[in-house]
Structure 1
Amino acid sequence: MELTLSNGNPLKFESGLPSDYSGPILRGATSFQAKSNLAELVIQELHGEYYTIRFLIGKFLKKVNAKGWIHSNGLYSYFMLKNGTRKRINTIGNLHIRQDQYACFYTESSDCSAVFEKTNEFRALDVFYSPKLLEELLPFFPELKNVLLSSSGIILPGKPCWSLPCMKEIINQVLNCPYDKATRQFYFDLKVRELLYQLLETTFKKNPSQQYFTPFEIARIHEVRDILESYISKKPPSICKSSA
């Protein structure tokens, strides 16, 4: 990743975490740090089979423009954990991701850039899912087939969304992995798929008008409605009576 500051100078990265680093640790990840009189940035990157997790934490004393390149086609999800950012993906367009929001999109290789305003601190978690991993969920989300066959970028479900509590919980578990080297890879494999499932469930969940009921269920719904209507001016019936 190439980071260009407002003064035109690039940030230079070196391996490892800062000696005074006190933020979350992505266990087993490769770490990089960069520091100047205008910005400080720490990146932790973990590669699994068919996915990559990247955690970023930093602060900027002035506006920062980040330029980079998306090398692999697949599904990308960006979660802004603290403060926000504006991104531009050439195959997608402009994205404004606020704190506690995420952007999820499928794209081929592409130029990309991001703008970070002056801030005390920002935190973000990025997860890349390869097409091979996405294929595992095709039986549950057949709509994914059109996404995988797309020749242009697609935003899921069409714009940045607010992160659900279950997504935040998974991210917190990823950043606070309690397991050692022997078992943590299996743990990350599960959590990455769990997060992916939540992203796809949010994207492809059925509209209430698309839900279908059996004749028996419809009859029971009407029966409960009739019971409730008969008690409009009286004390509501008990749950036992409504479900009898």
Structure 2
Amino acid sequence: MSIIEIISRSHVDWKQELPKQFPIIRFPGASVYTAEADFGTVCVQRYEGTNYHMDYSIFSLQQQIDLAGTVTESGLYTRIVLSGLVRQKLDGSFLIQRKNQFLLFKTPFNNFTSLNYSAKLHICFEAFFSLPLIQELFDLFPALKLLFDRKEFVPGPIKLHSPIHVDIETHNIVNKVLKCPYEKDLRTHYFDSRVRDLLFNLLVQASNTNPVDNDPDDFEMAAIRNAQDLISADIKNHFQVPELLGQTRFKVLFKKIFNMGPYEYLQQQRMIKAKELLEQGMQVKEVAALTGYRLTRFINAFRNYYGTTPGSLLRKPK
């Protein structure tokens, strides 16, 4: 296994299955790596995307362990501590990263991490963003471009900031990733979009600036209105929406104007249309198909949106 190495143990057997002794979220589409020994249990789930990867790691420990990992590709690496406490070795000293804090590092680097055994459970969400992905944001974050234009070799990780508390938006992005309801191609599009949201949001927090605070110009407004029209015209089409999410500024401006993202807007339009069709007497299964859902997922989505089942509308007296 090349994800991490437990250097405080001479030999560790990794299995590609979830641990059985404690409950764990199944990261959709991710590969699973589990090690169990006298130190406790380590489970890493990794999703490999184009120009990025995401790790969801749980450490249930009886003893302290030391981990080592290497990132050889140029890019940015982040760790978000969801539970527990992590000690990161930097320049001969240890930086403590606590629950609900994140760090950003410029890569490549040889990463050494010590997990503090005083807390029994450690949960981390980590992501690597490769240079092609980061370059999409150079115009929005000029300092980021300067960082990657540096030619001199700097040993070890470049810490971009001190640990920062994770905001609600970042928590929401991580939760959406871990609870992704989609499969196969749609899941790929969904993760491609969410990972860009995550990178943008972390950079905004780290730099204390939001490059999309400026109002949209006429061209951007036209693009956003066109996207709105495309979504409204074909609510059944799952695959049209990710094509509209290529630019971070576009996504944030869409949310700024409509108070919801393109995916949320699509769901809203589907639910409005579904309610209209049900009130006309159309059967639930047919409505689900016309609004782009499989039946079970449609019932759940409808209940989450309206607080009742679609069948209840059919049973209401005229």
1:240 maps to what in 2?
A: none
Q: Does 1:154 align with 2:154?
A: no
Question: Higher strand proportion, which one?
Answer: 1
1:68/1:154 Cα in 2 relative to 1: closer, same or farther (>3 Å)? closer
Contact 2:80 2:126 in 1 (8 A): yes
Deviations along 1:144-195, one digit per CA (max 9) or x if unpaired, are 1111123434322x21111111111111111111111231111111110001
1:186 maps to what in 2?
A: 189
1:217 maps to what in 2?
A: none
Q: By how many angstroms is 1:19 displaced?
A: 4.3
3-state SS of the aligned residue for 2:12? coil
Quote the Cα distance in structure 2 between the aligned partners of 1:111 and 1:47.
20
3-state SS of the aligned residue for 1:53? strand
2:47 maps to what in 1?
A: 46
3-state SS of the aligned residue for 1:35? strand
2:67 maps to what in 1?
A: 66
Q: Give the 5 Å matches for 1:62-211.
A: 62-88=63-89, 94-108=94-108, 110-118=109-117, 119-150=119-150, 151=152, 152=154, 153-156=157-160, 158-206=161-209
Deviations along 1:170-228, one digit per CA (max 9) or x if unpaired, are 11111111111231111111110001111111223349xxx9xxxxxxxxxxxxxxxxx
Higher RCO, 1 or 2 (CA under 8 Å, sep at least 6)?
1
3-state SS of the aligned residue for 1:71? strand
Q: Identity of paired residues, percent?
A: 26
Q: Which moved more, 1:16-25 or 1:184-193?
A: 16-25
1:120/1:206 Cα in 2 relative to 1: closer, same or farther (>3 Å)? closer
Quote the Cα distance in structure 2 between the aligned partners of 1:89 and 1:14.
31
Contact 2:67 2:113 in 1 (8 A): yes
Matching residue's letter, 1:164:
D
Quote the Cα distance in structure 2 between the aligned partners of 1:93 and 1:129.
26
Q: By how many angstroms is 1:117 displaced?
A: 2.0
3-state SS of the aligned residue for 1:73? strand
Deviations along 1:58-78, one digit per CA (max 9) or x if unpaired, are 211011111222222210000
- Considering only aligned residues, what root-mean-square deviation do their CA atoms show, in Å? 2.2
Q: By how many angstroms is 1:85 displaced?
A: 0.6
3-state SS of the aligned residue for 2:204? helix
Matching residue's letter, 2:102:
Y
Q: By how many angstroms is 1:10 displaced?
A: 3.5
Quote the Cα distance in structure 1 between the aligned partners of 2:196 and 2:93.
27
TM-score, normalized by length of structure 1? 0.77
TM-score, normalized by length of structure 2? 0.60
3-state SS of the aligned residue for 1:57? strand
Structure 1 gaps of 5+ residues are 212-244
2:37 maps to what in 1?
A: 36
2:16 maps to what in 1?
A: 15
Contact 2:33 2:45 in 1 (8 A): yes
Q: By how many angstroms is 1:94 displaced?
A: 3.9
